[in-house]
Structure 1
Amino acid sequence: MIRSLGPADLNAFIALRRQSFATDPLSWDYDPGHEVSAEEWLPKILETDGQFVLGYFLTEGRQKPELAGVIGLTRYEKLKRRHRALVWGVYVSPAARGQQAARQLLTETIRRARAMEGLERIILTVSHHASAARALYTAAGFVEFGREPGASRNEGVGMDEIYMLLEL
């Protein structure tokens, strides 16, 4: 099940963000032990006409749906940049991998983005270590337009940040 996140999902969102920093340290700027605060993240998950965060929930065999994947989209606010939006925070927990969760989240994000009046493109960045994510973005029509070698380092391992865009 996929739906927009709201205030009631904040604790599950924060727990999933913490998990992502630990399970995939070469995909994030945050260290595995980074503290994620409610004050920092609540405004970022609230849906507005220019932003949303979608969640992928596992439901089978559970009394309560479990947040197992997320994707965010934020439209640039400045008038000269409002034709662009940024996809951020894409993560699927190991428990939901192999279930097409990321593909479903990305597909729904693109569908919603196309419905935003005047939005012409989506951009994102991805670690060169995240080969499955890069393949997903490429299959969805994103193209690489730049790369910053060694943009981030984790325990001495460098991460190239790849910039990709999708023309809507």
Structure 2
Amino acid sequence: MNIRCLQPSDAEEYRKLRLIALQMHPSAFASSYEEEKGNSADFYKMRFQSEESFTFGAFEEEKLVGSVTLLQETKRKLKHRALIVAMYVSDECRRRGVGKALIVAALEKANGMGGIEQIYLAVESTNEPAKKLYTSFGFEVFGKDKRAIKIEDTYFDEDHMVLYL
């Protein structure tokens, strides 16, 4: 497995993985398949060129099988914080260390940026494997957002977690 920061040339493959993630696990993301299916590869190319956003990809035999994005806060009073968002590992690659490797890459980047003191993320409250992964790195739940996600008539809670570096 190879983990690296995604480049504009990875945009089409990322788009495909992202749409699968949104279709297969809609309660895990604030965004929806319907909202993102119209995004072209150029939309993601722009993101991959940002100086505050870093998307890491996990590749197995040149195929993108997982990703995670680290976002640095941009406001002066919040620059000591970063967010982990859009974490996804393809179903066939779960329980093989892909998620762990992606979080390691994001945390190494955060540590190397200088000035990042805490990292936040939100996870669907019943997603025990993800919560176990995050807890293994020292993330702690500091709050629950009840009914955070609504899909048709069904609500999903989110646990908000923080890691102090």
TM-score in same-fold range (> 0.5): yes
Q: Which residue of 2 aligns with 1:45?
A: 48
Q: Which residue of 2 aligns with 1:85?
A: 82
Q: Once the 2 structures are TM-superposed, how far is the Cα of residue 109 of structure 1 from its aligned partner? A: 1.0
CA distance in 2, matches of 1:155, 1:120: 37
So what's the TM-score if we normalise by structure 1? 0.90
Q: Once the 2 structures are TM-superposed, how far is the Cα of residue 27 of structure 1 from its aligned partner? A: 0.8
1:117 corresponds to 2:114: yes
CA distance in 2, matches of 1:36, 1:141: 37
1:25 corresponds to 2:26: yes
Q: Once the 2 structures are TM-superposed, how far is the Cα of residue 130 of structure 1 from its aligned partner? A: 1.6
Q: Which ranges of structure 1 fall in alignment gaps of 5 or more residues?
A: 60-64
1:115 is paired with a residue whose SS is helix
Q: Any idea what the Cα deviations from partners look like across 1:143-166, whole Å, max 9, x if unmatched?
A: 011111111122432111211110
Q: Once the 2 structures are TM-superposed, how far is the Cα of residue 87 of structure 1 from its aligned partner? A: 0.6
So what's the TM-score if we normalise by structure 2? 0.91
1:37 is paired with a residue whose SS is coil
Q: Which residue of 2 aligns with 1:62?
A: none
Identity between Structure 1 and Structure 2 (%): 29
1:76 corresponds to 2:78: no
How many pairs are equivalent?
Answer: 162
Q: Which ranges of structure 2 fall in alignment gaps of 5 or more residues?
A: none
User: Stretches of 4+ moved more than 6 A in 1?
Assistant: none
Worse overlay, 90-99 or 27-36:
27-36
Q: Which residue of 2 aligns with 1:54?
A: 56
Worse overlay, 69-78 or 33-42:
33-42
Q: Which residue of 2 aligns with 1:137?
A: 134
